[in-house]
Structure formats: structure tokens, C-alpha cells
Amino acid sequence: MNSLAKVGVLVVSVVLVLSAAGLNAAEKKESMGAKLFQQHCAACHPNGGNIIKPAMTLHKKDMDAHGVKTAKDVVGKMRNPGPGMTRFDTKTVSDKDAMEIAEYILKTYK
């Protein structure tokens, strides 16, 4: 194999490795949100639904109707949910974990 071909193979290999590493990091972040959601939320919100108040699901149209549009809004509801939902204070769910959950919800339940 000539030198130019070897360099080409090397460049392609590096690009593939770096792409795979980036995808793996994204999957880990999403997995953390999914894991935390399963731990803290899924019992009452299976598949983004709501077993207590069926009209208040985690799906975009329902959250929009209740003024919950951003990750910060979701965390706000976790901290001060109102009647029927467990309150998740910072001792129960850290701000970082709450944001992971919120981002997972917004990405998953469109």
C-alpha cells in the first residue's frame, strides 16, 4: 500500500473513532436522564402519561397547555408541583439530576 493510501486509511479511521466517541457520550447523557426518570418519575408517569391526573401528561401538547415549555419549567414543576404530585426538593433530586430528567422528558415525549 502506498503512503498516500495509508494516510487516507488513517484519516478515515480517526474520523470514525472520534464520531463513535461523540455518539457514545451523547448516549451516556441521555441514558442518565432516562435512568433518573425511571427512578423518580416513571411510577406515576409511565410512557409520559399521568396515572393521577390523566390530562396532565408529559407530552408536549399537554405541557404547553399548562405553561411548561422549557427544562427550567419542568424542574420548577418538580420543585413546586401542586396537588397530586410528589415534591422533589434538592435533597431528593439534585439540580443537575433534575435538569437531566427535564431534558430527557422534553426530548422523549414530543
Q: Which tens digit of pLDDT belongs to each residue from 35-69?
A: 999 999 999 999 999 999 999 999 999 999 999 99
pLDDT tens track for 75-102: 999 999 989 999 999 999 999 999 999 9
Which pLDDT belongs to residue 109?
Answer: 95
Evaluate if residue 106 carries a pLDDT over 80: yes
Q: Is the whole-model pTM more than 0.85?
A: no
Choose the most confident range, by mean pLDDT, from 6-15, 30-39, 45-54. Answer: 45-54
Evaluate if residue 20 carries a pLDDT over 70: no
Which pLDDT belongs to residue 28?
Answer: 56
CA distances from 51 to 43, 47, 54, 95, 109 (A): 8, 11, 6, 25, 16
Best CA proximity match to 78, nearest among 54, 47, 55, 104: 104
CB 50 within 8 A of CB 77: no
Which pLDDT belongs to residue 38?
Answer: 97
Find the mean pLDDT for residues 15-40.
68
Task: Locate 46 and state its grid cell.
Answer: 409511565
